[in-house]
Amino acid sequence: EVQLVESGGGLVQPGGSLRLSCAASGFTFSNYWVTWVRQAPGTGLEWVANIKQDGSEKYYVDSVRGRFTISRDNAKNSLYLQMNSLRAEDTAVYYCARDRWVVVGATTLYYGMDVWGQGTTVTVSS
Partner 1 sequence: QSVLTQPPSVSAAPGQKVTISCSGSSSNIGNNYVSWYQQLPGTAPKLLIYENNKRPSGIPDRFSGSKSGTSATLGITGLQTGDEADYYCGTWDSSLSGRGVFGTGTKVTVL
Q: Which residues bind partner 1 (CB under 8 A)?
A: 35, 37, 44-47, 50, 59-61, 95, 97, 100, 102, 109-119
Q: How far apart are CA 54 and CA 80, in angstroms?
A: 14
Nearer to partner 1, 31 or 43 (CB): 43
- For 44-57, b where at least 16 C-beta lie within 10 A, e where not — what string? eeeebbbbebeeee
The answer to whether 113 and 95 are in contact (CB under 8 A) is no
Shortest distance, position 90 Cβ to partner 1, whole Å: 16
Shortest distance, position 18 Cβ to partner 1, whole Å: 20
Quick one: CA dihedral 122, 20, 79, 77, positive or negative? negative
Shortest distance, position 16 Cβ to partner 1, whole Å: 25
Nearer to partner 1, 37 or 124 (CB): 37
Shortest distance, position 118 Cβ to partner 1, whole Å: 5
List the one residue out of 12, 38, 19 whose CA is nearest residue 79. 19
Nearer to partner 1, 118 or 125 (CB): 118
